[in-house]
């Protein structure tokens, strides 16, 4: 996996993205609010890896609404542990059922 930014976003810290959206486990199901945290070199890669992870978790469709970079380590759960997982190379999916 590429972990270095391939644009002008050079930083001392790793780039951890947060993607906010909704996932659907079936075509007629009500969507589940999601926050996805992961490391990636750019936003295109982050979106692609997030969609792959959602597919592996059984989501059939997803509407991804926002993407951003986390600039400070979160202190509140569940984002704090998801952030740590992202630093370790995991794609962390937080579900709000």
Whole-angstrom CA distances from 85 to 30, 60, 82 are 27, 24, 5
In a domain, 8, yes or no: no
Scanning the structure block, which residue is given the tokens 């001392």?
12
Please give the tally of structural domains in the chain: 1
Contact call for residues 23 and 54 (beta carbons, < 8 A) = yes
Which pLDDT value is given to residue 2? 47
Residue 37's beta-bridge partner residues? Answer: 18, 92
- What's the chain's average pLDDT? 90
**What is the extent of the structural domain holding 47?**
16-96
In a domain, 2, yes or no: no
Which pLDDT value is given to residue 21? 97
- Which parts of the chain have pLDDT scores under 70? 1-12
Which pLDDT value is given to residue 12? 66
In a domain, 4, yes or no: no
């Amino acid at each position: 996996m590429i972990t270095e930014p391939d644009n002008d976003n050079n930083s001392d810290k790793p780039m951890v993205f947060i993607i906010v959206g909704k996932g659907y486990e079936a075509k007629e199901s009500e969507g589940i609010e999601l926050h996805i945290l992961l490391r990636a070199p750019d936003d295109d890669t982050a979106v692609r890896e997030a969609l792959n992870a959602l597919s592996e978790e059984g989501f059939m469709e997803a509407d991804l609404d926002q993407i951003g970079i986390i600039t400070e380590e979160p202190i509140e759960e569940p984002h704090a542990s998801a952030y740590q997982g992202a630093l370790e190379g995991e794609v962390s999916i937080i579900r709000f059922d």
